[in-house]
């Protein structure tokens, strides 16, 4: 598959602190790519760099256009949706209001149909349409955050720790839905996830980050069988 996103020699950080040290990777069009690594390896910083949220140096090419240095709003309009760690849900607003905010930059007549399509993936959101987002369970808030990002109609969805704080049954449900979305929408996904077993089960390709550097990459199925990955991240 051709690359939708190409990152070359990317440095990123906060203030005087550099977190990423010249990483290079790609995300295939229509594919799922995962970034693995311990806490502090630079996974979240990578997603923030792609969304224009941190200081960067290097090349980021998305859908043939260079986007490094652009404002976050411009990057979102170009077709990159971002579900951050902590979900970023507007807790005081209703489910419906959160969903409509996801489509706020759109001017086409298909928003209503897209919201209905989200309810096909996440029927609980339809049941809680008028409910304040802050009263939802953690799993429901995660579903809302994903649905809101999808209403942007992104070409690439960045997902930061979608399993965080969720019960195991909800984690399995969320990842099953992500698989459905990837197949049905033919949308690229870049996934950051502490649960390496789940991430490698969903992904086509994987990269391993250590202290801001990519130290290993390959097909997700092959990475899953790699002894070092199994020992350090899969627990067997």
Residues 6+ apart with CB under 8 A from 117: none
How far is residue 207's CA from residue 188's CA, in Å, rounded to a whole number? 15
> Considering its fold, how many domains does the chain have in total?
1
pLDDT at 227 over 70: yes
Range of the domain at 189: 3-234
pLDDT tens, position by position, 14-23: 999 999 999 9
**What average pLDDT does the chain have?**
92
**CATH for 183:** 3.40.50.300
Q: Torsion-angle region of residue 235: left (phi > 0), alpha (psi -120 to 50) or beta?
A: left
Q: Average pLDDT in the 88-95 region?
A: 90
Find the mean pLDDT for residues 80-93.
88
* For the chain, percent of residues with pLDDT exceeding 90: 74
């Amino acid at each position: 598959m051709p690359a939708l996103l190409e990152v070359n020699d990317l440095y990123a950080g906060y203030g005087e602190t550099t977190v990423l040290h010249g990483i290079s990777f790609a995300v295939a069009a229509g594919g799922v790519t995962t970034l693995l690594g311990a806490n502090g390896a630079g996974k979240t910083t990578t997603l923030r760099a792609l969304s224009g949220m941190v200081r960067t140096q290097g090349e980021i090419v998305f859908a043939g256009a260079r986007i490094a240095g652009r404002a976050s709003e411009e990057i979102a309009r170009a077709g990159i949706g971002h579900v951050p760690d902590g979900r970023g849900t507007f807790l005081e607003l209703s489910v419906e209001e959160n969903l409509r905010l996801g489509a706020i930059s759109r001017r086409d007549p298909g928003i209503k149909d897209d919201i209905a399509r989200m309810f096909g993936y996440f029927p609980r959101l339809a049941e809680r349409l008028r409910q304040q987002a802050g009263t939802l369970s953690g799993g429901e808030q995660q579903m809302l955050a994903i649905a809101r990002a999808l209403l942007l109609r992104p070409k690439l969805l960045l997902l930061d720790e979608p399993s965080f704080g969720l019960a195991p049954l909800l984690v399995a449900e969320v990842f099953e839905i992500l698989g459905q979305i990837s197949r049905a929408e033919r949308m690229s996904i870049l996934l950051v996830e502490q649960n390496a077993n789940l991430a490698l089960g969903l992904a086509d390709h994987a990269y391993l980050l250590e202290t801001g550097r990519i130290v290993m990459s390959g097909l997700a199925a092959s990475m899953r069988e790699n002894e070092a990955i199994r020992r350090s991240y899969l627990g067997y």
